[in-house]
Structure 1
Amino acid sequence: MNEKSYTELMKLGAMKRNRLKENFVQDLYIDMLLSEIQLTVEREKLLQKIDAAIDSRDKKSFLLLSMQLKEIYKKFGT
């Protein structure tokens, strides 16, 4: 007596698929946002270290930190 019609079952299946898609997109967005925050923090720290290396005229540190900054920019896709 509690059987659902084919149409009802199809609607339920479609609703479930939509929820799964929405959850996937939401999880993807959160992951992208967290990655962006992490890269931004790393970049800011490196920029501060580069400024300190310039102020202390430490060419070796400057070059090393600059290479690391280039890698960060590659991760950003710029």
Structure 2
Amino acid sequence: MKTLRDVPVGAKALVKRIHGEGPLRRRIMDMGITKGTEVYVRKVAPLGDPVELTVRGYELSIRKNEAEAVEVEP
């Protein structure tokens, strides 16, 4: 299983599934990261937290644990 955390900087991926329960899953979906959405990884901080993404035409920063809950396919 490849997660959003594993996608290298400058690459795109397609969201396949969102893992987790309750507030974490809902928070990710509220940010626009849903099944079938294309995500572009812009930057990753030196220690890996946060991850900067482009989703649906806007910029988004998410935490490492949120990125690990999003399963993707390249």
TM range (shorter): under 0.3
Higher RCO, Cα 8 Å, sep 6+ = 2
Greater strand proportion: 2
Q: Structure 2 length normalisation: TM-score?
A: 0.28
Q: Structure 1 length normalisation: TM-score?
A: 0.27
Greater helix proportion: 1
**Larger-gyration structure (1/2):** 1
